[in-house]
């Protein structure tokens, strides 16, 4: 099994969810995060005090999929999240050693 972790632009979340749903992936975890890669931040000014804000709002999308579906999911996700500009984000892939469905103790691919 593979865990796919994607950091994407917040405004791309709906498109990504839709694209994943269209290929039959409807289990995922979404977190609001802050971070940056090469993207520059912005300047905020409050009553004459300037602050450089480097941590930009992003969305992290995580899901675990069977090995065979890995490439398909990554391509669908990346296509939906892409704008072509700096700040689009990244996808990381991890190996998962076990998955358990809490409700009925199902294990492995069947738990996904």
Partner 1 sequence: MTKLSLLFFSLCTYAAAQPADLEKRLSDLEKATKSAQSAGDNAWMLVSAALVLMMTGPGLALFYGGLVRRKNILSTMMHSFVLMAVISVLWALVGYSLAFGEGNSFIGGLQYLFLNGVGAAPNSDYAGTIPQGTFMIYQLMFAIITPALISGAYAERVKFSGMLLFTILWTLVVYFPMAHMVWGKGGLLNATLGGKIPTFDFAGGTVVHITSGVSALVFALYIGKRKGIGTEALRPNNLVLAVVGACLLWVGWFGFNAGSALAASSLATSAFVATHFATAAAALTWMVIEWFRNGKPSVLGAISGAVAGLVAITPASGFVKPMPAMLIGIAAGIVCFLMVSVVKNKFGYDDALDAFGVHGIGGTVGAILTGVFATKEINDALNGKPLGLIDGNAGQVLNNAMGAGIAWVLGIVGTLVILKIVDSVVGIRCEPQEELEGLDLSMHGEEGYNLDS
Of 50, 12, 48, 53, nearest to 35 by C-alpha is 53
| 44 near partner 1, rule: CB under 8 A | yes
Question: 3-class DSSP state for residue 52?
Answer: strand
Collapsing DSSP to helix, strand or coil, 100 comes out as strand
Please tell me whether residue 100 binds partner 1 under the rule CB under 8 A.
no
Q: Which stretch binds partner 1 (CB under 8 A): 9-17, 20-28, 44-52, 99-107?
A: 44-52
Query: Tokens 């602050």 label which residue?
Result: 51
Cβ 112 to partner 1 shortest distance, Å: 27
Q: Which run of H or of E encompasses 89?
A: strand 89-95
**42 touching partner 1, by CB under 8 A:** no
Closer of 48 and 84 to partner 1 (Cβ): 48
CB of 57 to partner 1, least distance (A): 15
Do residues 53 and 44 touch, judged by C-beta distance below 8 A?
A: yes
Stretch that binds partner 1, among 8-16, 25-33, 42-50, 70-78 (CB under 8 A): 42-50
Cα–Cα–Cα angle for 4, 109, 31, nearest 5°? 30
Report the residue number, 38 or 47, with the smaller CB distance to partner 1: 47
The residues of the shown chain that bind partner 1, judged by CB under 8 A, are 44-49, 51, 53
């Amino acid at each position: 099994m593979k865990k796919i972790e994607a950091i994407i632009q917040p405004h791309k979340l709906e498109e990504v969810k839709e694209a994943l749903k269209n290929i039959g992936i409807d289990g995922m975890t979404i977190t609001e995060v802050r971070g940056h890669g090469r993207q520059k931040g912005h300047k905020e000014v409050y009553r004459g005090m300037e602050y450089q804000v480097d941590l930009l709002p992003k969305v992290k999308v995580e899901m675990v999929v069977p090995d065979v579906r890995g490439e398909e999911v990554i391509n669908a996700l990346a296509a939906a999240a892409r704008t072509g500009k700096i700040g689009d984000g990244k996808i990381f892939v991890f190996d998962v050693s076990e998955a358990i469905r809490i409700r009925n103790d199902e294990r492995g691919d069947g738990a996904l």
